[in-house]
Amino acid sequence: MGAAVLPILFFTALWAAVGIGGPIMTPRGPQQKLIQCILMLTAGCCWLFWLCCYLAQMNPLIGPRLNRQFLALIARAWDGGLKDA
């Protein structure tokens, strides 16, 4: 199971629009460069956060559920008994 291309392209385009279009539309003033920097950093961080969360779903930390036969095989291989929890 892999990542779908469409959501990645959509959100990349969305955050690229915020990171590129936002700084272009900032009003002139003494803090213009600061506002542009804030918008670009915000877009980059939000995109990276979304991408990490999306891709973490491809390889979850929760392991598979094992059936009883496989658990007995593991217990026999590890020289231990099964304990009902």
Residue 82 domain flag: no
Which 3 state secondary structure label does DSSP give 69? helix
For the entire predicted model, the pTM comes to 0.65
What is the 8-class DSSP label of residue 67?
Answer: P
Domain for residue 83, yes or no?
no
Q: Is residue 65 part of a domain?
A: yes
Cα gap 43→45, rounded to integer Å? 6
Residue 50, in any domain of the structure: yes
Q: What is the extent of the structural domain holding 24?
A: 5-77
Q: Which one has a higher pLDDT value, 32 or 60?
A: 32
Q: Which residue has the higher pLDDT, 36 or 77?
A: 36
Count of domains observed in the chain = 1
In order of 7, 28, 29, 48, 85, the CA distances from 21 in angstroms are: 20, 15, 18, 18, 56
Contact 34, 26 (CB under 8 A): no
pLDDT digits (tens, 9 = 90+) for 2-59: 678 899 999 999 999 999 999 999 999 999 999 999 999 999 999 999 999 998 888 7
